[in-house]
Amino acid sequence: MSLHAVEHVEEAFGITREFLTPFDLRRWLKLALIVFFVGSGVSFPSAQFNTSTPPGDVPTGEIPFSLPPDVGTLAVVLVAAGLLLGGLFALIGAIMEFVLIESLRTGEVSLRRHWRRRWRQGIRLFGFRIVIGLPMFALFAGWLALLIVPIVTGRDPTIPATAFLVGIPVVFLIGVLYALVSGFTTVFVVPLMIQADSGVLAAWRRLWGSVKTAWKQYVAYVVIAFLLAVAAGIITSIVVGIIALVLLIPMLMVAAIMHVTVSLSSTVGFVVLVALALLFGLSMLVIGTLAQVPVVTYLRYYALLVLGNIDDSFDVVSNSHPSRRDP
């Protein structure tokens, strides 16, 4: 039995090259915007407080520190703002998943048209991610609490620490399962939603039937896709690192000149230093995102090719562009 995950490693390179060439800056910038949301993760913000207390005994069950009302309010506002921005970023990212696949399957990168057509499905995907993500987050937070709470409260950590160690394989296995469900939803279910203009669960039902009958093909995909992602990540990091060094050298020269002329501790020197840091950070963000465009494009085309060969009815590439696939 041939493994489709092996067959399409090279073919995906050809389709990616055809999609990204000839180089068009406007097209690449659109793809970079899509990749910025699709290829980035959102983490829940956290806050840390100084828990030092004055000498003396602290009554059992009472919080050993207190925050001024204004600081506490500010913390709540910052956390709420962080959650709101994170949720908005995740929502846009979910819709951009459909914009990306529509761009790949049609060969045309159109943000507005694809967004207008697929934003409702993007909201469904966002809701599905929340539904599967919150229990995983709660499990992980509870697992960490077994270790952290006894330390903060000063209670005997023996039993919680034992439960923490016992929970390591459980959390790992559930984390792997979550990663598989989330990953398959992104690379396989989203194209099926586009193909049938359906919801997440309907597309998952179609995919699950295929997974049960051709599970070896999907296991092979998971292994090879992981290796390809690691290799692509290493190469991209090296390239971006070299570019960062090239950009950093002239900026350091400017900072050295400013230090000799007006001193970096002066107001002018400080402003110039901050401006250089912001310029360098923004430049690296743009360069890093642009460098991810061919990587994300290749990996998504690879997944689409494998999916279409596992089940012909799942093929969303050749149906739209017969020239992209061998007959």
Mean pLDDT value of segment 139-143: 90
Closest CA to 300 of 102, 134, 117: 102
Residue 153: per-residue pLDDT: 79
Structure tokens at 174: 């559930």
pLDDT digits (tens, 9 = 90+) for 225-266: 999 999 999 999 999 999 999 998 888 888 788 777 766 667
pLDDT digits (tens, 9 = 90+) for 186-220: 999 999 999 999 999 999 999 999 999 999 999 99
Closest CA to 19 of 87, 101, 134: 101
Sequence-separated (6 or more) residues with CB below 8 Å from residue 100: 34, 35, 38, 296, 300
pLDDT digits (tens, 9 = 90+) for 160-176: 788 888 889 999 999 99
- Cβ atoms < 10 Å from Cβ of 320: 14
- Cβ atoms < 10 Å from Cβ of 120: 13
- What is the pTM for the complete model shown? 0.82
Q: Are 150 and 156 in contact (CB under 8 A)?
A: yes
- Give 254 or 56, the one with higher predicted confidence: 254
pLDDT digits (tens, 9 = 90+) for 276-319: 889 999 999 999 999 999 999 999 999 999 999 999 999 998 75
Q: Are 79 and 45 in contact (CB under 8 A)?
A: yes
Residue 250: per-residue pLDDT: 87
